[in-house]
Amino acid sequence: MKFSLVWLKRYIETEATVEEVAATLNAIGLEVEGIEDPAARLAGFRVARVLTAARHPDADKLQVLTVDTGDGDPLQVVCGAPNARAGLVGVLGLPGATVPANGMVLKVAAVRGVESNGMMCSTRELELGDDHDGIIELPEDAPVGTDFAAYHGASPIIEVAITPNRPDCMGLFGIARDLAAAGLGTLKPMKVEPVEGTFPCPVEIRTDDPEGCPAFYGRVIKGVKNGPSPQWLQDQLLSAGQRPISALVDITNYLMLGHGRPAHAYDLARLSGPVVARRARDGETVVALNEKSYTLDGEMTVIADDSGVHDIAGIMGGEHSGCSDETTDVLLEIAYFDPVRIAKTGRKLNLTSDARSRFERGIDPQFLDTGLDYLTTLIQMICGGEASHVVRAGAAPATPRIVHFEPGLTEQLGGVVVKPEEQQRILEALGFSVVVEEANFDKAWAVTVPGWRPDIDGAPDIVEEVVRIHGLDKVESVALPRADGVALPTATAMQQLERRVRRAAAARGMHEAVTWSFLPEAEAAAFADGEGPLWTLSNPISEDMKVMRPSLLPGLLSAARRNLDRGAASLRLFEIGRRYLRGKAGMSDERLTLGVVLAGEKTPRGWASGKATAFDAFDAKGEVLALLAEAGAPADKLQVMGEAGPQFHPGQSATLRLGPKNVLARFGMIHPGVAKQFDIDGPVALAEIYLDAIPAKKGAASFARIKYAPPALQAITRDFAFLVPAETPAGDLVRLVQGADKANIVSARLFDDFRGTGVPEGQKSLALEVTLQPQEKSYKEEDLKAIADKVTAAAAKLGAVLRG
């Protein structure tokens, strides 16, 4: 919320500077987001009088002015404004000044051959209004030579972030009340005299939706003269970021910004029959003031007459019944709407407004009559007119909330000692009514909550009010008690696993991505894998973010596409996060997963190969095996089985399992159809590791790896080449060989797969490198022969024959 210091001082008597106001606002919990000084933007602009005005010799629409700037020697200025004339007092921008509207720096320049020493300015050029038909005309007695900023009274503008729990500060009067309670000045009470109407209201007003609109008050004012609002009113609205429209509209906005109370003025000539607050009918439409059409339903409250809907209640008025310069009779509406109904309607229509932001937070239900009288007074003062009697349909909630409070709670909950007398002063300054029994002053208080504070619900809320006004900076920082000794580790085994795998993936040259947990329904369905119905949100951020992700791969593929579209040649992305499945009894089943996407060029083209090399399924498998080993999975015992799923290319994908049912990972190349769905060209390798499926080591409290000293004796290697049936998976042979002699064989690695000359039809030659690690003594020939026999015997179980 933005406001000027001048406007603030309409509500509080204070000599505080803008810096002191900002410091106090921050201290009491109203965060200042920025301070703007309009005077700085108007530097270099001066009140000046036009002495002479003559036609430009080479341009019919330009004049050559002689301008008195108060410095003695008049300046020559070329001007094209139609109202420029001798004797006019206006605003001159001197060379070196910057025009606020467009950032142009003024300088001495020749205009059609005539030297011009600055520019006479319009309201729009100085961002003081929308008028651009002529230059500013100041009163005859305006002091020539004075800086325009000083003459205009440009006031600093403060922007404050209002949290959702402070609806009272959605009006400037509420902010002034807080500042006065904090000791920055004296609050000026709002004095509004009741306006007695002189004739019965000619319009029937009623509420047919007492739940959505419990109270609907209104009156007619005849004979008003609409037009531009006074300059003081325009200045205040501009300081708040509001564009002045017309006097009638500006007055309602002034009430809303000043007191947090939205209201509306209808052109009476455009209404037909009774004006009613009712439920909308399914399919009804209305064109709002933002010139957009909205389709309504029966859960929404509207203001309507016999001709149809004129107002989306509490959110935005309709275009048809808005006031114009021709308006002479108006119907003023001020109502209380249910905050929940307003919030739901706004979300359904995706419509935000200043009125909605106030109604859905909760406004003071007791401000209806005062607000209507104040609105009437301002309209009659500025636009004239004669007011009717007030019509009151329904009644606003009026039951006061009383909170039982003990002053000792402030120290107990807030950690600061505040005298009971000071606590009472603070609460009463904030508008609370405090009833205290003298005999029990330090114990039981009955605190009545004012209507403008719907956020106050109990005694802890009262403590918060006392502490923030007393000073949050006065709350002492006290460390929590800590037991002696070394702190115990707090990370769980799964958290340790997640950190270790994240570091390992980054160390392998991959970049971490963080994608949304929400997906478009089509992308989520493509990776559902029959895990049950998708988790669909009832209130999504957008249509493209309505389903909880069943896999990390769709988000990574979208990230890869964005990077490839922007010229990335090679992508190695990973993400650690949770995928969301439906568990038992409708509960969410969240599973920790690591996703990997390899796209683009694995190696760029070079002089040796001549062309770039793309990623393939074996690259994905290599990453998976390395990360599984880092996670503590028994990589040497994993089985390569089956296809990875319909998202992967047939024949170019597989799963890694511990046994037939426990799937630890899947990897492979993307299916062409899925690549087309994600608009990705070129080969892409995918992998997904199910970290929650990795079994914990027996007897281990965590996944921490066992540290050991390197063996004293050097390892040796032996190569074996076997003839096996062509359909035999190489991984099966590797596992059998590695398990042939666990005491001596450290690892087995496939390094050749040959099919061709010398290899019988229907067979293939698989060559393995076997690493042997002696323990207490070096191997002798007979030891190596015994190990080789065990390897040959193990391979024979697959029908493998040692190749001669």
CB 36 within 8 A of CB 100: no
Angle at 476 between CA 474 and CA 481, to 5 degrees: 165
Give residue-wise pLDDT tens across range 411-437. 999 999 999 999 999 999 999 999 987
* Cβ neighbourhood burial of 193 (10 Å; 0-12, 13-18, 19+): exposed
Counting other chains too, the contacts that 108-115 makes at CB distance below 8 Å and 24 or more residues apart are 111/56, 111/62, 111/78, 112/56, 112/57, 112/58, 112/59, 112/62, 112/78, 113/57, 113/58, 114/56, 114/57, 114/58, 114/64, 114/76, 114/78, 115/76
pLDDT of residue 704: 43
* Residue that has been written with the tokens 């066992």 in this structure: 706
Tell whether the model's pLDDT for residue 706 goes beyond 50. no
pLDDT of residue 166: 93
Local structure of 557: helix, strand or coil: helix
Q: What are phi and psi of 344, to 5 degrees?
A: -65, -40
pLDDT of residue 491: 86
Cα–Cα distances (Å) from 260 to 323, 342, 798, in that order, read 21, 16, 83
Tell whether the model's pLDDT for residue 537 goes beyond 90. no
Orientation of helix 172-181 relative to helix 247-259, angle to 10°: 30
pLDDT of residue 699: 52
For the record, the structure tokens of 782 come out as 């007979």
Q: Are strands 89-93 and 119-120 parallel, antiparallel or unpaired?
A: antiparallel
For the record, the structure tokens of 287 come out as 């064109």
Angle at 642 between CA 522 and CA 502, to 5 degrees: 65
Give residue-wise pLDDT tens across range 344-384. 999 999 999 999 999 999 999 999 999 999 999 999 999 99
Query: Is 461 flagged in the annotation as binding?
Result: yes
Distance CA 306, CA 271 (A): 8
Reported as a pLDDT band with limits 50, 70 and 90, residue 702 is very low
Distance CA 769, CA 791 (A): 12
Model pTM score: 0.63
The arithmetic mean of pLDDT across residues 586-615, rounded, is 86
Q: Where is average pLDDT lowest: 38-42, 464-468, 531-535, 653-657? A: 531-535
Amino acid at 705: R
Helices then strands, counting H and E runs in the chain, come out as 20, 41
The arithmetic mean of pLDDT across residues 101-128, rounded, is 91
Local structure of 48: helix, strand or coil: strand
The arithmetic mean of pLDDT across residues 474-480, rounded, is 85
Sign of the torsion formed by the C-alpha atoms of 425, 429, 430 and 434: positive
Q: What are phi and psi of 757, to 5 degrees?
A: -55, 130
Nearest in space to 590 (alpha carbons), one of 549, 529, 633: 549
Give residue-wise pLDDT tens across range 265-293. 999 999 999 999 999 999 999 999 998 99
Give residue-wise pLDDT tens across range 752-766. 999 988 899 999 999
Query: Is 411 flagged in the annotation as binding?
Result: no
pLDDT of residue 138: 92
Tell whether the model's pLDDT for residue 467 goes beyond 90. yes
Reported as a pLDDT band with limits 50, 70 and 90, residue 703 is very low
CB 38 within 8 A of CB 151: no
Query: Is 455 flagged in the annotation as binding?
Result: yes
Q: Could you write out the three-class secondary structure of 747-775?
A: EEEEEEEECCCCCCCCEEEEEEEEEECCC
pLDDT of residue 440: 66
Distance CA 56, CA 53 (A): 9
- β partners of residue 303: 277, 311
pLDDT of residue 533: 79
For the record, the structure tokens of 312 come out as 């989306």
Reported as a pLDDT band with limits 50, 70 and 90, residue 607 is confident
Give residue-wise pLDDT tens across range 150-199. 888 778 999 999 999 999 999 999 999 999 999 999 999 988 999 999 99
Distance CA 740, CA 284 (A): 79
Query: Is 464 flagged in the annotation as binding?
Result: yes
Give residue-wise pLDDT tens across range 712-739. 899 999 999 999 998 888 888 998 998 8
Q: What percent of the chain has pLDDT over 90?
A: 71
pLDDT of residue 468: 94
pLDDT of residue 643: 84
pLDDT of residue 708: 56
For the record, the structure tokens of 493 come out as 């085994």
Reported as a pLDDT band with limits 50, 70 and 90, residue 484 is confident
- The mean predicted confidence, pLDDT, of the chain is 90
Tell whether the model's pLDDT for residue 631 goes beyond 60. yes
Distance CA 629, CA 239 (A): 63
- Count of CA atoms in the C-beta half-sphere (13 A) of 124: 7
Domains of the chain: 2-37+156-187 (3.30.56.10), 40-152 (2.40.50.140), 205-394 (3.50.40.10), 401-470 (3.30.56.10), 493-693 (3.30.930.10), 716-802 (3.30.70.380)
For the record, the structure tokens of 549 come out as 């992700």
* Residue that has been written with the tokens 């407004």 in this structure: 353
DSSP string spanning 622-670? HHHHHHHHHTT--GGG-EEES---TTEEEEEEEEEEETTTEEEEEEEEE
Q: What percent of the chain has pLDDT over 70?
A: 97
Tell whether the model's pLDDT for residue 586 goes beyond 80. no
Report which secondary-structure segment, H or E, holds 111.
Answer: strand 109-111
